[in-house]
Amino acid sequence: MLNIRKATAEDIPLIQKLTYSVWPQTYATILSQEQIEYMLEMMYSHTSLQKQMDEGAQFIIVNDNNEPVGFASFQETEPAIFKLHKIYVLSNQQGKGTGKYVINHIIDVTRQQGARALQLQVNRHNKAKDFYEKLGFMVTEEADFDIGNGYFMNDYVMEKRIS
């Protein structure tokens, strides 16, 4: 049975563990090993995750029968517009509705906070784009984000209107 709970700074080691279980295999065919290592340090170090939390990112943990199987983070980036920063579920959970469950939870939470739209970025070569489209997200632009060290995130920006 799936359930979601809010994450706190005490969950940072768990978020890192889940990240290292999902991230490298998700991006192995899309990014170089060097870029993967750079991005993991940039976005998932203890200091970086703590800073994200301190700056208002809401992190959640999804459990299946009380076992952590994924996480997500989101926050309001402009009035009534929320951004899904991260959503990752273990590979053995993919295709079971876990990701959809998490997205629907985030939509419910953000709707209660006055959201009109949920936005996200997804790598242009990530098969998750199809998943997001099935949930009603639409590509609003193609963008390249300079993340330093000579690396770029080559993403689609996607949005789902929330009524």
**What stretch of H or E contains 154?**
strand 151-161
Sign of the four-CA dihedral 51, 145, 115, 68: negative
Give the domain CATH number at 154. 3.40.630.30
Separation between Cα atoms, residue 44 and residue 48, nearest integer Å: 6
With beta carbons less than 8 A apart as the criterion, state whether 119 and 82 touch.
yes
pLDDT of residue 26: 87
Q: Which residues of the chain have pLDDT under 70?
A: none
Mean pLDDT, the chain, as a whole number?
A: 95
Q: Which domain covers residue 41, as residue numbers?
A: 2-161
pTM reported for the whole predicted model: 0.94
How many separate domains does the chain show?
1
Helix axis angle, 12-27 relative to 33-44, nearest 10°? 160
pLDDT of residue 23: 87
